[in-house]
Amino acid sequence: MTATEMVSIASMQRDGPIPGRRRARWRGLLLPGLLLVIWQALCMSQVFTPDVMPSPVMVATELFRLWTKGRLLGDIVITAERVALGFLLGTALATMVGAVVGYSRSAGEFVDPTLQALKAVPSLAWVPLFILWFGIFEGSKVGLIAVGVFFPVYLNLLAGIRSTDRKLVEVGLVNALGRFDLLKRILIPSALPNYFTGLRAGLALGWMFVIAAELMGASKGLGFLMLDGQMTGRPATIVAALILFAVAGKLSDALLVAASRRALAWQDDFASTLTKTDQ
C-alpha cells in the first residue's frame, strides 16, 4: 500500500462518508422543526395568546414586514459588526495574556487571581463604567463585548497550556528550544483543542453581551430591535429578534467549528470514532 493510499484511507476514517455527514445536517433540523410545529399548535389551541406568545406565522410575518421596510438588514449587519470587533479584540487580549500566564508561574501568581475575581462580575455591572469611560458610542459597545469574550478564551487557553504533557516539554528543553519556540512548537499546539473550545464559548458570550451593549444608547441593532418591541408592545418583534440572534450565533459557531476541524485535522480522537459508527 502506497503512502498516498494510506493518507486517503485515514482521511475517510476521520471525516466519515459524505452521505452520513449530510444526514447529520438534516438530523439537526428535526428538533427545531418539531418545536415549531408544537409552538404553532399551542398558539392555535389558545394555550398561548398572541399578546403573550405570538405564533410562528405571526413572527414570520413580522420578519417579512421588517425586511420590506428595509430596516432588518441594517440591524443584523451592525450587530454582527459589533460582535466581530468585540470577538477579535477580546480574543487577541485573551490569547496574549493566557499565553504569558500559562507559561510563567510568576506571571500567573500576579495576574490570575485578579482575573478570576473580575470573571465573576455580571455583564450589566460593566455598563455604567463603560459609559463613563467611553460614552455611548461604538467603543463602549465593542469593549463590553470584548470583556465577555475575554474570560472563556483566557481560561481555556490557560488550562490547555498547563495540561500539556510534561514529557513533551522535557523533550523540547533537551533539544534546547528557547522560550518562544517552546511556546510556539509545543505549548500552543497542545493547547489548541482547549483554545477552540474557549473561542466557541467566547463567541457565544459575545452574542449575549451584545444585547447589554446595545442597551447603551444604540439606535440600531438586534438588541435595540428587541427593546423597541418591548417598549411598543410587539411581542412578535421580540421573538423575531431572538430567533435572529439564535440563527446568527449558530452560523458563526459553524464557521469556528469548520476552522477547528482544519486546524485539528491531526487529531485521532473519539469524535472521529463517532463519525464512523453513528450513521
84 is in which domain, residue-wise? 71-268
| pLDDT on residue 2 | 43
Q: 125 and 260 share a domain?
A: yes
pTM for the full predicted model: 0.81
Scan for cell 490570575, then name that residue. 112
In a domain, 54, yes or no: no
Residues 113 and 79 in one domain: yes
Whether 23 and 81 share a structural domain: no
Cβ atoms of 103 and 187 within 8 Å: the answer is yes
Reported as a pLDDT band with limits 50, 70 and 90, residue 9 is very low
Cell of 220: 440600531
242 and 142 within one domain: yes
Is residue 95 very low, low, confident or very high in pLDDT (cuts 50, 70, 90)? very high
Whether 141 is covered by a domain: the verdict is yes
Average pLDDT value for residue range 210-221 = 80
* 166-200 pLDDT, tens digit each: 888 888 778 777 777 777 778 888 888 899 999 99
Instruction: Note whether 55 and 46 are within 8 A (CB).
Output: no
Does residue 265 have a pLDDT over 80? no
Q: pLDDT tier at 80 (50, 70, 90 boundaries)?
A: very high
| CATH number of the domain where residue 145 is located | 1.10.3720.10
Q: Provide the pLDDT for residue 152.
A: 94
Do 212 and 163 share a domain, yes or no?
A: yes
Report d(CA 185, CA 163) in Å as an integer. Answer: 15
CA 115 from centre of chain: 20
| DSSP symbols for 28-45 | HHHHHHHHHHHHHHHHHT
Whether 186 and 228 share a structural domain: yes
Around 37, how many Cα atoms within 13 Å sit in the side-chain half-sphere?
A: 6
* pLDDT at 93 (0 to 100): 95
The answer to the question of residue 220 being in a domain is yes
Mean pLDDT of the chain: 82
Q: Say if residue 134 is in the same domain as residue 98.
A: yes
Position with higher pLDDT, 207 vs 134: 207
Same domain, 77 and 159: yes
Our count of domains for the chain comes to 2
Shared domain for 245 and 169, answered yes or no, is yes
Kindly report which listed range (16-20, 243-247, 256-260) carries the lowest average pLDDT score. 16-20
Q: For position 89, what pLDDT does the model report?
A: 95
Once rounded to an integer, what is the mean pLDDT over residues 13-32? 62
pLDDT value for 18: 46
Whats the size of the chain, residue-wise?
279
Question: Both 79 and 209 in a single domain?
Answer: yes
Residue 93 and residue 163 in one domain:
yes
The predicted model gives 19-30 an average pLDDT of: 66
The reply to whether 84 falls in a domain is yes
pLDDT grade, residue 13 (50/70/90)? very low
Predicted local distance difference test score (pLDDT) of residue 10: 46
pLDDT over 60 (residue 123): yes
Same domain, 184 and 237: yes
